[in-house]
């Protein structure tokens, strides 16, 4: 019996010695890998041989240190292997050992080795995810980046890559859209250096999900945190317009312009907002109540004038801003057409009233003319710009040019 006990003790000692050797050889690997890779790889090989022996013996197989060292060793082998079919089994072995190490190391005695293993495993999934993402396999990239994130849950790159791959996978598979939204929202709770972009991207995701309320909140939160960010300001205005909150949009635009007075887009959006308010007033003018009709038409005229001033400022910043020129032409020609129609509605027995109304219309058409021509000059293939110009020619009874412009419109329409 004494001899048997001695044999068991010797065997246990031998296996613990293998575990110690595996730990020490792995430590050498970590110290040498940056300076002498050849010696480092030899130590890693020795570490693997010893940890395999320790893991195979029932006396040491379930020790926290065995799991920890095995996880670190096999993770190092996995990340060094560039062939997916051979590296994945190594990774799986490392991952299983890593989870066991975390579970059993209740005293934290192997904390340092476990942390090294976790970072190596995360790096493996990161590398895998990058390759999949670059190959356009966004669903696979999401799975890899999500594994990366699960290992390092507070790593901002892990969260961002997971959200980004989910966002790119969502057009083909809608289930990824809420996953992208969740990760971007999580990222906003961190100190990620590019969170201003994340607010913008998050609003885009909400718009894709047809949740304009959440989209507006996301971008408004972004503006509150980054008040000088033009991209966020512009998006906030866009969503405000889409949701019918024109008055709110005006206040936000004026604030944005104060922060960035040379931004042509802000003036452009201001013009759109005022024009939309004018359009709403025009619809309100279709009433039999003469007082309400007069008030609505006055509101339309005032807001079209404000829209005009904003578009002009946008063109002062960029004289070649075609969209601003097109919209400016519209808000200029529209009141002229209204005045023209009003003049033609004057009874025949009221000659002086008709002449006054016609003179007013003519003055408005004259004022609109350069803007009509400018819009066509900047974008000669714009049917909208040509249509506005044709309206000018019809209003000034220039039949020849109206016919010529109509032929241009028909030629573009047939293409």
pLDDT of residue 15: 56
- 241-287 pLDDT, tens per residue? 788 887 888 888 888 899 889 999 889 989 988 998 888 888 888 88
The region of weakest confidence among 120-124, 278-282, 392-396 is 278-282
| Res 202 pLDDT > 90 | yes
On the question of pLDDT at 288 being above 90, the answer is no
Query: Domains along the chain?
Result: 14-135 (1.25.40), 320-415 (1.25.40)
The model's confidence at residue 29, banded by pLDDT at 50, 70 and 90, is very high
Residue 128 has pLDDT above 90, yes or no: yes
CA dihedral 157, 161, 163, 164 (to 10 degrees): 130
Per DSSP, helices labelled H in 318-350 are 322-344
Tell me what the pLDDT averaged over the chain comes to.
90
36: left (phi over 0), alpha (psi -120 to 50) or beta: beta
Tell me: the pLDDT tens digits for 132-148? 999 999 999 999 999 99
Mean predicted confidence (pLDDT) in 381-403: 93
**Which position has the token pair 């066991």?**
100
Residue with tokens 């005229």: 301
Angle, helices 64-80 vs 84-104, to 10°: value is 160
Q: What pLDDT is recorded for position 252?
A: 84
Residues composing the chain? 415
pLDDT digits (tens, 9 = 90+) for 155-198: 999 999 999 999 999 999 999 999 999 999 999 999 999 999 99
pLDDT value of position 4 = 44
pLDDT tens profile 219-240? 999 998 998 787 898 888 888 8
- The answer to whether the beta carbons of residues 243 and 212 sit under 8 Å apart is yes
Average of pLDDT values for 108-127? 94
**What separation in angstroms does the CA of 192 have from each of 40, 155, 160, 197, 198?**
35, 9, 9, 10, 9
233-242, 286-295, 381-390, 394-403: segment of lowest average pLDDT: 233-242
> What pLDDT is recorded for position 242?
80
Q: Are 358 and 347 in contact (CB under 8 A)?
A: no
Q: How confident is the model at residue 6 (pLDDT cuts 50, 70, 90)?
A: very low
d(CA 229, CA 223): 7
Percentage of residues in the chain having pLDDT higher than 70: 96
Q: Name the pTM for this structure.
A: 0.69
Q: Which two tokens stand for residue 73?
A: 């060793």
Q: Residue 1 — pLDDT band, cuts 50, 70, 90?
A: very low
The per-residue pLDDT for range 345-358, each reduced to its tens digit, is 889 889 999 999 99
b/e per residue 103-116 (b: at least 16 CB within 10 A): ebbeeeebeebbeb
Is residue 22 predicted with pLDDT exceeding 50? yes
pLDDT value at position 114?
95
Q: E strands within 278-412?
A: none
pLDDT at 14: 53
> What is the mean pLDDT of the segment spanning 376-388?
93
């Amino acid at each position: 019996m004494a001899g048997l006990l001695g044999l068991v003790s010797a065997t246990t000692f031998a296996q613990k010695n293998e575990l110690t050797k595996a730990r020490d050889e792995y430590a050498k690997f970590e110290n040498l890998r940056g300076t002498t890779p050849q010696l480092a790889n030899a130590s890693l090989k020795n570490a693997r041989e010893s940890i395999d022996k320790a893991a195979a013996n029932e006396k040491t197989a379930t020790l926290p240190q065995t799991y920890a060292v095995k996880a670190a060793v096999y993770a190092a082998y996995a990340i060094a292997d560039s062939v997916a079919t051979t590296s994945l089994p190594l990774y799986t072995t490392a991952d299983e050992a890593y989870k066991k190490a975390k579970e059993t190391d209740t005293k934290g005695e192997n904390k340092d080795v476990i942390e090294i293993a976790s970072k190596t495993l995360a790096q493996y999934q990161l590398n895998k995810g990058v390759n999949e993402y670059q190959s356009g396999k966004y669903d696979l990239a999401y799975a890899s980046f999500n594994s990366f994130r699960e290992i390092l849950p507070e790593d901002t790159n892990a969260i961002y890559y997971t959200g980004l791959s989910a966002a790119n996978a969502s057009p083909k598979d809608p289930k990824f859209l809420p996953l992208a939204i969740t990760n971007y929202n999580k990222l906003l709770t961190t100190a990620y250096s590019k969170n201003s972009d994340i607010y913008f991207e998050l609003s885009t995701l909400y718009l894709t999900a047809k949740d304009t309320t959440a989209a507006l909140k996301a971008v408004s939160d972004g503006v509150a945190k980054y008040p000088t960010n033009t991209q966020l300001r512009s998006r906030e205005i866009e969503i405000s317009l889409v949701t019918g909150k024109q008055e709110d949009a005006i206040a936000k635009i004026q604030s944005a312009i104060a922060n960035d007075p040379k931004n042509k887009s802000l003036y452009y959006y201001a013009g759109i907002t005022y024009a939309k308010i004018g359009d709403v007033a025009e619809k309100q003018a279709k009433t039999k109540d003469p007082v309400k009709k007069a008030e609505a038409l006055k509101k339309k005229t005032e807001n079209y004038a404000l829209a005009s001033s904003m578009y002009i400022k946008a063109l002062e910043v960029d004289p070649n801003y075609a969209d601003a020129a097109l919209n400016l032409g519209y808000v200029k020609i529209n009141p002229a057409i209204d005045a023209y129609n009003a003049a033609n509605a004057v009874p025949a027995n009221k000659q002086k009233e008709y002449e006054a109304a016609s003179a007013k219309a003519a003055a408005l058409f004259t004022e609109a003319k350069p803007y009509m021509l400018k819009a066509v000059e900047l974008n000669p293939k714009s049917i909208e710009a040509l249509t506005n110009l044709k309206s000018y020619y019809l209003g000034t009874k220039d039949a020849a040019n109206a016919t010529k412009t109509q032929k241009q419109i028909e030629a573009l329409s047939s293409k």
